[in-house]
């Protein structure tokens, strides 16, 4: 019996050693694959490589021809095949996460090429490519200005060929009208980049290089004019395709975009529930604001929906009275960021970021889409500045137009925006994420995690008593959250259910309390994009769901700052992977 037991124990030990050896071998295979991917993917898109901080191909442009598409598809399939040869279950847990993210990304790239085929019908992706090709070189000081200008000249010399490829690739009668019209509006953005970001810096070049750059810009300008004429005469005139992508494509794209267990119908159900709950909370907060001005008001026990609507609008009107001056938006943002940074320290919310942050006026070519954005350095350009860009009010706007605009972006809204874009939102979260040692994970970051954190963190600040717990701040925060909810609602309703412009505008203006210009811009954005508008709401849900679960598990020992620091230490993978790592659950497949 002892001999038998000894043999069994020896066999178990051998199996354990064999399993360990196999795990080590699979880890090594995956590490080699990950290294190869990080090293090779920049060749597929030199413009994207510049944006993420790989500057080996700063002189090159993307190949958008059929040959280029086939090369990219072959690349993605080859890495999928290599992943298939690895027993993913034997990998370390961190590697299992990255293997799942890589498989998801490769599958999405192949689906986008073969099924969605935006390369054939979405001209706006090319206007973003041409503008981004030069902006990515000029926006950050990752190299001496002389070198970056030389690379800009290299790319501008190749721009006529890129425009020719685009004209061969696009299929005009597959293009929706809204995409064609937007592409025409965006096409000249390349000119503003040259005028605003290149010409003022040309004095740093010697005469030979300056002449080459001037010639390259002239060639690019001429090519851009030819391309714009083609867009107007050959695309806009025949662009009548349906911008709605339909249920089948939307569901597939939503799955890729969100990488969440939630289905489209589950997202809609939770959005409907949160829409009602959020509006009820807005009514309760608005009553408190109203009572401060009208203390003897007696509210009905069972108010009608019209009554609730009127009280919420009254509360919002009171908040709209506080606004920055016409020329004081950047200064207001600077003060708000400094206040928020001190607030997270004083209230032990999350460890502050130390990377450089600069608040700037939005570059001209970027204006007209959103009021503000956070422009963080790519994951390979660590240590460089993050820009919190705020659009100035156009000089030709009338006082009436300015007043209307500042109703939406009042002082309280500016505070919420600064929390979202800077602290503790995008700037802080991405600064934490860039400290994670895996380059692969940084390249495969989840927009749902990133946007979800930014919206979640706004509410965390308000719940912690931001601005002395003022109800006006809470009401505006709820309004912005309601915007995220309606984003998710119209996203699928437009593309799947055929929601009309009038229906969408009514939901956003009456249901979401958005100003007409804000809602009109969102209607255009919802036509141009699909699935992305859902990331804010779904990401927020997942962040709150995970936090509640951690509070339940940890009980009295739960500490908010410790939790947030741990949460942000994993980079920016989808929340379901962070949940698995924090709670020691199986890694999602």
Q: DSSP string of 76-97?
A: HHHHHHHHHTS-GGGS-HHHHH
Q: Could you report the per-residue pLDDT of 329-346, keeping only the tens digit for each? A: 888 899 999 999 999 999
In a domain, 255, yes or no: no
pLDDT greater than 60 at residue 218: yes
How confident is the model over 290-311, as a mean pLDDT?
95
CA distance 18 to 24: 10
Total domains in the chain come to 3
Do 62 and 127 have their domain in common? no
Do 95 and 158 have their domain in common? no
In a domain, 472, yes or no: yes
In a domain, 247, yes or no: no
CA distance 91 to 23: 6
CA distance 251 to 57: 35
CA distance 449 to 572: 6
Strands in 386-390's sheet, in edge-to-edge order, are 357-361, 386-390, 372-375
Q: What is the CATH number of the domain that holds 42?
A: 1.20.58
Between the alpha carbon of residue 279 and those of residues 306, 309, 474, 476, the distances in Å are 12, 9, 12, 12
Q: Could you report the per-residue pLDDT of 42-64, keeping only the tens digit for each? A: 999 999 999 999 999 999 999 99
Do 427 and 566 have their domain in common? yes
CA distance 461 to 474: 10
pLDDT greater than 90 at residue 378: no
- Residue 393 DSSP class: P
Of 373, 366, 363, 346, nearest in space to 430 by CA:
373
Domain boundary among 68, 86, 116: 116
- Sign of CA pseudo-dihedral 413, 425, 431, 364: negative
pLDDT greater than 70 at residue 367: no
Do 451 and 528 have their domain in common? yes
- How far out from the chain centre does Cα 252 lie? 19
Cβ atoms < 10 Å from Cβ of 248:
10
- Residue 388 DSSP class: E
CA distance 484 to 313: 19
Cross-strand bridge partners of residue 359: 388
Cβ atoms < 10 Å from Cβ of 3:
7
**Please, are residues 362 and 392 in contact by the beta-carbon 8 Å criterion?**
yes
Of 373, 349, 357, 387, nearest in space to 563 by CA:
349
Q: What is the model's pLDDT at position 21?
A: 65
Domain boundary among 180, 207, 236: 236
Q: What is the model's pLDDT at position 365?
A: 56
In a domain, 300, yes or no: no
Exposed/middle/buried for residue 140 (C-beta within 10 Å: 0-12, 13-18, 19+): buried
**Please, are residues 62 and 47 in contact by the beta-carbon 8 Å criterion?**
yes
Tell me how many degrees the CA angle 114-116-122 measures, rounded to the nearest 5. Answer: 120
Helices and strands (H, E) in the chain, number of each type: 25, 3
Do 12 and 94 have their domain in common? yes
In a domain, 62, yes or no: yes
pLDDT greater than 60 at residue 18: no
- Residue 399 DSSP class: H
CA distance 572 to 54: 19
Do 226 and 92 have their domain in common? no
pLDDT greater than 80 at residue 15: no
CA distance 155 to 149: 10
Across the chain, mean pLDDT equals: 93
How confident is the model over 544-570, as a mean pLDDT?
97
Q: What is the model's pLDDT at position 3?
A: 54
CA distance 566 to 582: 8
- Which one is predicted more confidently, 164 or 185? 164
Instruction: Determine the structural domain holding residue 579 and report its residue range.
Output: 320-583
CA distance 61 to 66: 15
- Which one is predicted more confidently, 47 or 390? 47
Q: What is the CATH number of the domain that holds 390?
A: 1.10.390
In a domain, 265, yes or no: no
Q: Could you report the per-residue pLDDT of 394-413, keeping only the tens digit for each? A: 778 788 877 777 888 899 99
Of 484, 471, 487, 330, nearest in space to 409 by CA:
330
Do 37 and 58 have their domain in common? yes
Do 337 and 470 have their domain in common? yes
Q: Could you report the per-residue pLDDT of 82-119, keeping only the tens digit for each? A: 999 999 999 999 999 999 999 999 999 999 999 999 99
In a domain, 344, yes or no: yes
Name the CA dihedral angle for 106, 437, 459, 477, rounded to a multiple of 10 degrees: -60
Q: Could you report the per-residue pLDDT of 438-455, keeping only the tens digit for each? A: 999 999 999 999 999 999
In a domain, 467, yes or no: yes
Do 170 and 93 have their domain in common? no
CA distance 395 to 589: 53
pLDDT band at residue 366 under the 50/70/90 scheme: low
CA distance 463 to 471: 11
Do 410 and 530 have their domain in common? yes
Do 336 and 361 have their domain in common? yes
Q: What is the model's pLDDT at position 327?
A: 80
Q: What is the model's pLDDT at position 276?
A: 97
Q: Does the bond joining 301 to the residue before it have cis omega, within 30 degrees of 0?
A: no
**Please, are residues 431 and 353 in contact by the beta-carbon 8 Å criterion?**
yes
Of 58, 59, 183, 57, nearest in space to 118 by CA:
183
Terminal-to-terminal C-alpha distance of the chain: 43
Do 487 and 455 have their domain in common? yes
Domain boundary among 206, 236, 266: 236
With a pLDDT cut of 90, the percent of the chain lying above it is: 81
With a pLDDT cut of 70, the percent of the chain lying above it is: 95
Q: What is the model's pLDDT at position 363?
A: 67
Q: Is 417 left (phi over 0), alpha (psi -120 to 50) or beta?
A: alpha
Name the CA dihedral angle for 103, 540, 316, 347, rounded to a multiple of 10 degrees: -130
pLDDT band at residue 368 under the 50/70/90 scheme: low
């Amino acid at each position: 019996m002892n001999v038998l037991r000894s043999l069994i124990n020896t066999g178990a030990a051998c199996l354990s050693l064999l399993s360990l050896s196999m795990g080590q071998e699979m880890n090594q295979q995956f590490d080699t694959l990950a290294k190869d991917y990080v090293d090779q993917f920049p060749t597929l898109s030199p413009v994207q490589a510049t944006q993420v901080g790989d500057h080996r191909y700063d002189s090159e442009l993307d190949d958008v021809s059929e040959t280029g598409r086939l090369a990219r598809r072959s690349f993605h399939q080859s890495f999928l095949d290599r992943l298939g040869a690895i027993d993913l279950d034997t990998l370390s847990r961190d590697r299992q996460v990255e293997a799942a993210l890589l498989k998801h990304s490769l599958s999405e790239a192949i689906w986008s090429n073969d099924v969605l085929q935006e390369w054939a019908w979405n001209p706006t992706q090319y206007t973003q490519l041409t503008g981004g090709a030069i902006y990515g070189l000029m926006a950050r000081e990752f190299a001496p200005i002389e070198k970056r200008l030389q690379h800009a000249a290299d790319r501008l010399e190749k721009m006529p060929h890129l425009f020719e490829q685009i004209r061969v690739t696009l299929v005009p009668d597959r293009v929706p009208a809204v995409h064609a019209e937007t592409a025409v509006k965006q096409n000249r953005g390349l000119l503003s980049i040259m005028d605003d970001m290149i010409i003022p810096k040309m004095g740093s070049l010697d005469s030979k290089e300056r002449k080459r750059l001037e010639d390259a810009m002239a060639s690019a300008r001429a090519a851009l004019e030819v391309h714009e004429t083609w867009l107007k005469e050959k695309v806009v005139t025949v662009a009548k395709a349906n911008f709605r992508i339909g249920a089948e494509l939307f569901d597939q794209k939503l799955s890729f975009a969100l990488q969440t267990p939630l289905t489209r119908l589950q997202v809609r159900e939770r959005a409907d529930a949160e829409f009602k709950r959020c509006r009820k909370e807005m009514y309760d907060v608005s009553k408190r604001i109203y009572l401060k001005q009208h203390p003897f008001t007696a509210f009905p026990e069972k108010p009608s929906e019209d009554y609730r609507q009127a009280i919420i609008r009254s509360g919002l009107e009171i908040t709209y009275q506080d606004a920055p001056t016409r020329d004081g938006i950047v200064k207001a943002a600077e003060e708000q960021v400094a206040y928020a940074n001190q607030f997270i320290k004083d209230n032990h919310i999350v460890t502050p970021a130390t990377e450089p942050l600069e608040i700037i006026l939005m570059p001209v070519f970027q204006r007209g889409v959103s009021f503000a954005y956070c422009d963080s350095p790519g994951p390979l350009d660590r240590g460089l500045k993050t820009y919190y860009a705020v659009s100035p009010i156009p000089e030709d706007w009338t006082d009436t137009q300015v007043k209307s605009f500042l109703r939406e972006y009042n002082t309280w809204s500016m505070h919420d925006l600064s929390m979202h874009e800077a602290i503790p939102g995008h700037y802080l979260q991405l600064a934490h994420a860039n400290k994670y040692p895996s380059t692969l994970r940084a390249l495969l970051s989840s927009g749902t995690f990133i946007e979800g954190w930014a919206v979640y963190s706004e509410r965390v600040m308000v719940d912690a008593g931001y601005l002395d717990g003022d109800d006006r701040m809470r009401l505006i925060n709820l309004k912005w959250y309601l915007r995220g909810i309606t984003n998710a609602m119209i996203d699928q309703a437009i593309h799947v259910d055929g929601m009309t412009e009038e229906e969408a505008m009514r939901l956003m203006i009456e249901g979401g309390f958005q100003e007409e210009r804000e809602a009109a811009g969102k209607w255009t954005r919802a036509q141009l994009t699909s699935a992305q508008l859902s990331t804010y709401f779904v990401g927020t849900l997942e962040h709150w769901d995970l936090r509640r679960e951690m509070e339940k598990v940890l009980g009295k020992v739960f500490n908010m700052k410790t939790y947030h620091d741990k949460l942000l230490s994993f980079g920016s993978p989808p929340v379901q992977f962070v949940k698995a790592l924090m709670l020691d659950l199986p890694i999602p497949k």
